[in-house]
Amino acid sequence: DAGVIQSPRHEVTEMGQEVTLRCKPISGHNSLFWYRQTMMRGLELLIYFNNNVPIDDSGMPEDRFSAKMPNASFSTLKIQPSEPRDSAVYFCASSPRGDNEQFFGPGTRLTVL
């Protein structure tokens, strides 16, 4: 298996633009997680899905952030409009049913100018 796939790996955009981050989880995994990592705040859980259904989105910072999982093999995290303070590395992770081990993707480094 190729592991969790994220695209793009790097994104540079200007303030006010829409940004869409993509994730393909490991086949057969039931849960999918979106995290944000910054030096100041560390690793933050934004939202997670189980069987494509959003379970907890309390970590989503504000209405500018939205996430979808239309099917078991694809999820998106959208920021509209983007702001400089959104600059961070965004990780997607997936987990099979069982012992809660999470498998992380390589991350998307987002820079908002």
Partner 1 sequence: AQSVTQLDSQVPVFEEAPVELRCNYSSSVSVYLFWYVQYPNQGLQLLLKYLSGSTLVKGINGFEAEFNKSQTSFHLRKPSVHISDTAEYFCAVSVKTSYDKVIFGPGTSLSVIP
Q: In the complex, which residues of this chain contact partner 1 (CB under 8 A)?
A: 4, 30-31, 33, 42-43, 45, 48, 50, 55-56, 91, 93, 95, 97, 99-107
- CB-wise, 70 or 98, nearer to partner 1? 98
- CB-wise, 29 or 79, nearer to partner 1? 29
- The phi-psi region of residue 39 (left if phi > 0; otherwise alpha if psi is between -120 and 50; otherwise beta) is alpha
Cα-Cα-Cα-Cα torsion 30, 98, 27, 53, nearest 10 degrees, comes to 0
- The phi-psi region of residue 28 (left if phi > 0; otherwise alpha if psi is between -120 and 50; otherwise beta) is left
Distance of closest approach, residue 7 Cβ to partner 1, in angstroms: 14
Contact residues for 42 (Cβ-Cβ < 8 A; gap 6+): none
- CB-wise, 74 or 104, nearer to partner 1? 104
Distance of closest approach, residue 20 Cβ to partner 1, in angstroms: 19
Which among 45, 43, 75 has a CA at the least distance from the CA of 58? 45
Distance of closest approach, residue 78 Cβ to partner 1, in angstroms: 21
- CB-wise, 57 or 64, nearer to partner 1? 57
Distance of closest approach, residue 39 Cβ to partner 1, in angstroms: 11
The residues with which 94 forms a beta bridge, in sequence order, are: 32, 103
